[in-house]
Chains A and B, each alone.
Chain A
């Protein structure tokens, strides 16, 4: 069966520090991969999605970047965090076509102080 792992679960980082969140998927190949952010009490905002290795699409211009060095690995990064980067970050995968919806990771709660 397919599983998705996301870490760390919680992170507190100072303003200006770098960020690296990692997400890996097991049990499938060629998944579509996604990074979402959710502010407290709000809906989901799509940040990046990837349909293949090295292929990244950005939905919202911002202080973050994403990379997909391997088929089942998706990384969210920042060189210098801002206070506004605080939030709950969710990684997700889907089959091609998305008709079966997403499977989400357990999320990372990021607090920038």
Chain B
């Protein structure tokens, strides 16, 4: 069965610095999709970035980028120029064969 692991329950970063959140997954599939979601204190879940496993190029959305290592089954999220509004829970998720598997989340704290 597929699993998603976020090994960092909490991370903190100074405002304007760069932080990387880790995510690993376990699967025997070759075609799948990976997502990072953000849940701010309002608790609404917001899609941050999406990666298709067959694409070698890492996805980028403004200050957010991923380091997708398919062989290592790793999907980390890099946030550049961290802002106070980035403070949130971040969830990694894996999709294949009509299943969406979620990690336990990483709480990101931004220090002013």
- The chain A residues found within 8 Å of chain B, CB to CB, are 38, 42-44, 46, 88, 90, 92, 97-107, 109
Contacts and interface: CB of A to CB of B under 8 A. Distances in A.
B24 to A, nearest CB: 15
A27 to B, nearest CB: 16
Interface in B47-65: 47, 50, 52
Interface centre among A42, A97, A104, A105 (most CB of B within 10 A): A104
Interface stretch (B13-21, B37-45, B79-87): B37-45
Interface of B: 33, 35, 37, 42-47, 50, 52, 91, 93, 95, 98, 100, 102-105
A102 B45 contact: yes
Contacts of B44: 104-107
Contacts of A44: 45, 91, 102
Contact of B104 (A42, A103, A106): A42
B98 A101 contact: no
Contacts of A106: 42-44
A109 B41 CA distance: 13
A102 B43 contact: no
13 contacts: A38-B43, A42-B104, A43-B91, A98-B33, A99-B33, A99-B52, A101-B35, A102-B45, A102-B100, A104-B45, A106-B44, A107-B43, A107-B44
**Secondary structure of the A contact surface, majority rule:** loop
B54 to A, nearest CB: 11
Contacts of B37: 101
B50 A101 contact: yes
A104 B104 CA distance: 18
B42 to A, nearest CB: 7
